[in-house]
Amino acid sequence: MAGLINDAKEWVADEIADIPKPSADLTDVHIKHATTSAVQLKSDVTVTNPYDHELPLLEITYLLRSNDKEIASGTLSDVAGVAASAATVTEVMSEVSYDFLINLMKEIGSDWDIDYDFDVGVKVNLPVVGEFNIPLHKKGCIKLPTLSELL
């Protein structure tokens, strides 16, 4: 009897391992727009749906850090679902004032860029399973515009 139960457990584990799961990808953070008072940062989150029915996206959370200092964070809760067997791109936007960037001047240094860590969580609602979180992480460098580029 114990052997039958172990065989059943192995079969269920194998079947679950073969079920396709949604995936997500994250682009680098870059400057979308710069004014004399702030920088608007943008990144794209692409969620791919392997199922033959729409996949509801519940929310996207993000945290952008540099030198262990939080630059921006937030939650996007008005995100569209992902169509069946398709991919959807969602923009993650944040605005950072130059006042805050001046506080990071030690890190910026002479190369006029900011090294960052970007953490994003994509929460989807899977049938039968329920809420499923896809964690994403990206490290990179944001090149800041020079004063002449702003003017």
Q: How far, in whole angstroms, is CA 65 from its chain's centroid?
A: 13
Q: What is the pLDDT of residue 118?
A: 95
Q: Determine what percent of the chain is predicted with pLDDT higher than 90.
A: 41
Confidence (pTM): 0.78
Rounded distance between C-alpha atoms, residue 85 and residue 88, angstroms: 10
Which region among 15-24, 27-36, 79-88, 104-113 has the lowest average model confidence (pLDDT)? 104-113
In CATH, what class is 21-150? mainly beta
Domain boundaries, the chain: 21-150
How do residues 64-109 score in pLDDT, each as one tens digit? 998 888 989 999 998 888 999 999 999 999 988 877 877 776 666 6
